[in-house]
Each structure stands twice: as structure tokens, then as C-alpha cells.
Copies of this chain bind each other. A is one copy, B any other.
């Protein structure tokens, strides 16, 4: 294994083992401390619904890079929490449109504020240029594999 390949292995280890969980764990803890009982995964679905309400589960799969069973269960749990409801589409009855409840709308500002705080904390000492470059690299990795 060449030196460079070893570094790539380390990057793999880092991407899958650290960066993907450290921010999530911190954000989860902040939610909990503020009495907000949703998981980060649930929040990431709400995040995309706040951008556009009424998306289908398939659209949420694409947006969150999850598979269909994962979204089915996240929506199940969000429904239990009365944060979303499934509304059958009139045009295509295979489709569930996922619609935010009033409670979910109310969560937006509160959690977005915490997310920003956490991300500012996490990204202390990281410049905007570096953030952009990371995004670009991660996008290329994703495109290479999809």
C-alpha cells in the first residue's frame, strides 16, 4: 500500500467515523438540553421539508441520500410525534405527500438557531473558502460513486 493510499484510508476512516458523527452528536445533545425530543435524522428530514413542504417520500430519499425503507420509518416516527402527516396525492395515488404540522413549523426557528450555533462552534477556525472546498470534494466523491 503506497503512502498516498494509506492517507486515503485515513480519510475514509475520518469521513465515516468522525466528522459524520461529531457534529450530529453535539447537535443532538443541544436539542435534548433544550427539551426538543427529536433525533438528528428526524431533524434532517424536517430540514428539507422546511425548504419545501409536501414532498413525496421518494423526493425525501433523494434529498437526504437515504433509501426508501429508511424514509418510511423516519416518516413513521415523525407522524407518531405529530410533526408531519402523510397526504395521498390526488394525481398519483402511489404517492404520499409529507406535510408539516403547525408544531413542526414552530420547531424550525428554534432548532435552526441551535444548528447554527453548533455549526459555528464546530467550524471555528475554518474559513469560508475551506468550507466551500470541502463541499466540492464531498460532492465529487458522491458523484463518483452514485
Contact = CB atoms under 8 A, between A and B. Distances in A.
A123 interface: yes
A1 B108 CA distance: 11
A interface: dominant SS = helix
Given A22-B142, A125-B140, A140-B126, A8 B112 contact: no
Interface string A42-81: 0010010000000000000000111000000000000000
Interface string A5-16: 101111111111
Interface string A23-58: 111100000000000001000100100000000000
Given A18-B141, A122-B145, A134-B134, 11 more contacts: A4-B128, A7-B131, A8-B116, A12-B119, A14-B138, A16-B40, A17-B66, A20-B20, A22-B142, A22-B146, A25-B145
20 contacts: A1-B112, A8-B116, A8-B123, A9-B115, A10-B135, A14-B142, A15-B23, A15-B138, A16-B23, A16-B24, A16-B44, A18-B65, A18-B142, A19-B20, A20-B20, A23-B141, A26-B145, A121-B145, A123-B141, A134-B137
Interface of A: 1, 4-5, 7-26, 40, 44, 47, 64-66, 112, 115-116, 119-126, 128, 130-135, 137-142, 144-146
